[in-house]
């Protein structure tokens, strides 16, 4: 006589699963996603090209702004329209901090309200001298950005 298969003792339905490898894999995936989320935020920095674009531009009246350092406590601010200077200002301060405060006030009172009209600055260029340190240059860029001037370039002054 043959034994019929499958008629023996019944197996238990409770299987023992080892969850440790699954938890390890899950925690590794969570760490990876948390770390890469930072790079996604950095990848969304808005960058605009100030000159040379072939895109259709609006017919707004825009001006350009040039800031030229003479020394760490003195700069010339030139407002230009179509490449021609329409206003030249000299901004000074006894210290660099005073210079930045005077620059901010000059931008608000005399540049951005040129001839008592609110104007838009298309581009701004900053030309530092060799005596102006990097932190001072960054502070100048911060003052421009604070006044909603975003298309900013830095030029090098030759022979300084």
What CATH number does residue 116 fall under? 3.30.420.40
Cα distance from N-terminal residue to C-terminal residue, the chain: 108
Give the pLDDT confidence score for residue 5 in this predicted structure: 61
Among residues 151, 127, 126, the alpha carbon closest in space to that of 52 is found at 151
Among 53-57, 71-75, 154-158, name the one with the lowest average pLDDT. 53-57
**In the 8-state DSSP scheme, what is residue 88?**
E
pLDDT tens digits for 98-149? 988 988 888 888 887 777 777 888 888 888 888 888 888 888 888 888 888 8
Q: Whole-prediction pTM value?
A: 0.57
The answer to whether residue 68 sits within a structural domain is yes
Q: Which residues contact 104 (CB under 8 A, 6 or more apart)?
A: 143, 146, 147
The answer to whether residue 118 sits within a structural domain is yes
The answer to whether residue 107 sits within a structural domain is yes
* pLDDT category of residue 30 using cuts at 50, 70 and 90: very high
The answer to whether residue 109 sits within a structural domain is yes
The answer to whether residue 99 sits within a structural domain is yes
Give the pLDDT confidence score for residue 86 in this predicted structure: 87
Q: What is the residue range of 136's domain?
A: 62-154
The answer to whether residue 129 sits within a structural domain is yes
The answer to whether residue 72 sits within a structural domain is yes
Into how many domains does the chain fold?
Answer: 1
The answer to whether residue 86 sits within a structural domain is yes
């Amino acid at each position: 006589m043959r034994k019929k298969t499958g008629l023996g003792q019944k197996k238990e339905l409770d299987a023992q699963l080892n969850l440790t490898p699954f938890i390890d894999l899950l925690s590794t995936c969570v760490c990876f996603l948390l770390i890469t989320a930072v790079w996604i935020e950095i990848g969304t920095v808005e960058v605009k090209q100030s000159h040379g674009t072939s895109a259709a531009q609006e017919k707004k009246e825009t001006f350009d702004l040039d800031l030229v350092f003479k020394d760490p406590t003195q700069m010339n601010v030139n407002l230009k329209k179509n490449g021609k200077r329409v206003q030249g200002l000299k901004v000074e301060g006894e210290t660099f901090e005073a210079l930045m405060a005077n620059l901010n006030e000059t931008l608000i009172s005399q540049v951005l309200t040129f001839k008592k009209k609110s104007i838009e600055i298309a581009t701004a260029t900053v030309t530092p001298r060799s005596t102006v340190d990097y932190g001072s240059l960054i502070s100048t860029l911060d003052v421009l950005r604070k006044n909603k001037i975003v298309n900013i370039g830095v030029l090098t002054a030759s022979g300084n």
